[in-house]
Chains A and B, each alone.
Chain A
Amino acid sequence: MSNKIYINGISSISAQPQEVFLGVDPVEYSTNIIPAISPDYKAFIPARSLRRMSKVVKMGISAARTALLDASVPMPNAIITGTGEGCKQDTELFLEALLRQEEALLSPTAFIQSTHNTVGGQIALYLKCTGYNSTYSQVSASVEAALIDGMMQFLEHPEYKSVLVGGVDEVSKTISSFLYLDKQLKQEEVSNLQLFKEHSEGSITSEGAHFFSLSSERSSSTYATLQAVTVFQASNAEAVEAEMIQFLVDNEMPVAKLDLVILGNNGDSRFDYFYAHLQEEVLNETAQIAYKHLVGDYNTVSGYALWLACSIFRMGKTSSIFKLNKKEVQSPKSILIYNQYLGRDHSFILLKSI
């Protein structure tokens, strides 16, 4: 079998319209908890089914279906979902009722749909897909864990043609606001477009869904090859730099040949030095872009970075709103995505053009 993994279909639901990538003005928010822009869910999900679904499920099914349509795949061999915090809205509904009604007479719907694997299960039910179905909830590495499993599925099942992989998270009224308590959210409400100028603790958060149709076969819709994914823990920027260099060596990609890096800068003055170190040192000559000032930071936001990378491969360029430095790159051949969470959990995703 070919050991290449192709990304043949992509989708994104986020706090920004997809056209931002093409230069359309981004939406400016003045709150630190930002909702995603909902598509017309009725175009993807029967109205009778919609009534029972929280936003995370609606976003997940819509994004999953869009990615499969993009790849012209009617039925994937497997569905692998990443979600950092799962179905928060239904969890809140259930827990609030639990308190209000003194643990009696609780709604079964909120309970049934409060588990993390609800999204993956609902996608399978919608598609009538009885193949492998797994959900990864590894905080900020949830999308990466799902991608690694997706790559391993092709190794274990050479007959597989398509694996649907994605990440989805939602905001909720109470649980999302807990992020203020340990200063993961900035204590003052800020404009998302000024995020990198704030120089204060914390960031902004949001929600979204990003799905990808992976395949062992190249097609007319192929965006890129998924070369490698890794997750690791490190507590200082030098260790991250060493990991990055080794990761690139392992994948025969000299730093000098890396065309573009997508960084997860989120404006948190406590941890953005992890990115700054790479920006100023080893990646100094590489074009650098960021995205969390547009779509916020949440556990599966690296799905947006992956969608962005695929879109850049397709279009050969991106809008200036993403750029962190003045290095220009046209039609990149290679893109590295680096994300970190609270200076502890780090990930790299390496992509190449076809």
Chain B
Amino acid sequence: MNDLHTELKLSIIEQLNLEEFSVEDIDNNDPLFGDGLGLDSIDALELIVLLEKDYGIKLTDPDQGKEIFSSINQMASFIEAHRTK
């Protein structure tokens, strides 16, 4: 696990108040929505804000979110390819 993966997990736990989760509880391939972390549409909005605030990535197509936020691995890959900060 590289630093970005850990950083993302810490940010998600803090931003979404996932108090019952620790970094070790979240597998890089776990689905973030549905059966995995159980996130919902309000969390998706929080993640969109997180991408822009922390990495300078502005999502213009909401449908992109479904793929990008499918797992920590997917998020990390997208951030590495598109980050501006």
Contacts and interface: CB of A to CB of B under 8 A. Distances in A.
Given A51-B18, A52-B17, A109 B53 contact: no
Given A48-B38, A51-B16, A52-B17, A108 B45 contact: yes
Interface in A89-131: 101, 105-109, 112
Contacts of B17: 51-52
Contacts of A43: none
A108 B42 contact: yes
Interface residues of A, number: 11
Interface in B1-55: 15-20, 38, 42, 45-46, 49, 52-53
A112 B42 contact: yes
Interface string A52-90: 100000000000000000000000000000000000000
Interface of A is mostly: loop
Contacts of B19: 51
Interface in A12-65: 47-48, 51-52
Contacts of B18: 51
Contacts of A112: 42
B15 A105 contact: no
A101 B52 CA distance: 12
Contacts of A107: 15, 46, 49
Contact of A105 (B16, B20, B49): B49
Given A101-B53, A107-B15, A47 B20 contact: yes
Contacts of B42: 52, 108-109, 112
Nearest to A52: B17
B42 to A, nearest CB: 6
Nearest to B45: A108
Nearest to B20: A47
Contacts of A101: 53
Given A51-B17, A51-B18, A51-B19, A109 B46 contact: yes
A107 B44 CA distance: 11
Nearest 9 Cβ contacts at the A-B interface: A51-B17, A105-B53, A108-B45, A105-B49, A48-B38, A105-B52, A109-B42, A51-B19, A47-B20
Interface of A: 47-48, 51-52, 101, 105-109, 112
Interface of B: 15-20, 38, 42, 45-46, 49, 52-53
Given A105-B49, A105-B53, A107-B49, 17 more contacts: A47-B20, A48-B38, A51-B16, A51-B17, A51-B19, A51-B20, A52-B16, A52-B17, A52-B42, A105-B52, A107-B15, A108-B42, A108-B45, A108-B46, A108-B49, A109-B42, A109-B46
